Amino acid sequence: MSKMWPLDDVRNERWLEFEEYLDDLLVELGDNEKSLLLTSICGYENVPHLVERLIDFGADPSFDSYHSGCDKLAIIRLFDGDVGVTPIGSAVMGFFHFRRSTFDNLRVLLSKGANVNQAALSTYTPLQLSIVHDLPEFVRFFLENGADPCVPSTEFDGPNAWDYAEGKEWALLLLKEFDCGKDS
């Protein structure tokens, strides 16, 4: 097989070409490689069927590239410098950077067991990441799907979503709308 690692097709959104050899690829790749591919694909829109297929064939919907044991240099190149990226984090950042609609990918990830409270990018949970990047539609989505605003980030001082929402009235209102109590 000549297409062992299809990043060129993924980055250029050549989904038809990618799907032509996906079956062979799923047989040849290990679970970590499938999970890295899943993480990459989640940042693109209109590919929930590929997200589901990769998970069904062994990709981990809560894959953490930093703690995966994968080559860190390869991960840095794959995700433009971000090492601790999960599929959920990739979907949030796909929207933030490129305004790609990734909600269908997120729905599949959550339905397949992705952890909505796990660090999604570096030290941020998906909810915290969405607050930091001023993405109210993602904040609402994650709260509707069980995100806990009291879960601390993995930064040294462990701020939670309430801390990141300080000074952002829209975020505080959403947290209050969902009756998310603040632990003090």
- pLDDT score recorded for residue 45: 83
Burial 145-176 (b: 16+ CB within 10 A, else e): bebebebebeeeeebbbbbbbeebeebbebbe
Q: What is the pLDDT of residue 182?
A: 65
- Tell me the mean pLDDT in the region 23-47: 86
Q: What is the pLDDT of residue 184?
A: 40
Question: pLDDT value at position 179?
Answer: 74
pLDDT over 70, % of the chain: 84
| Partners of 121 in beta bridges | 85, 124
What is the predicted pLDDT for the residue at 3? 46
pLDDT tens for 128-153 read: 999 999 999 999 999 999 999 999 98
Name, in order, each residue with C-beta under 8 angstroms of 125's C-beta and a sequence gap of 6 or more.
116, 117, 118, 119, 147, 151, 153, 161
The pTM of this model reads: 0.86
pLDDT digits (tens, 9 = 90+) for 82-122: 567 889 998 999 898 888 889 999 999 999 999 999 988 77
Label residue 80 by pLDDT band (50, 70, 90). Answer: low
Q: How far apart are the first and last CA of the chain?
A: 56
Distance (Å, whole) CA 92 – CA 128: 11
Task: Report the number of secondary-structure helices (H) and strands (E) in the chain.
Answer: 12, 0
pLDDT score recorded for residue 117: 95
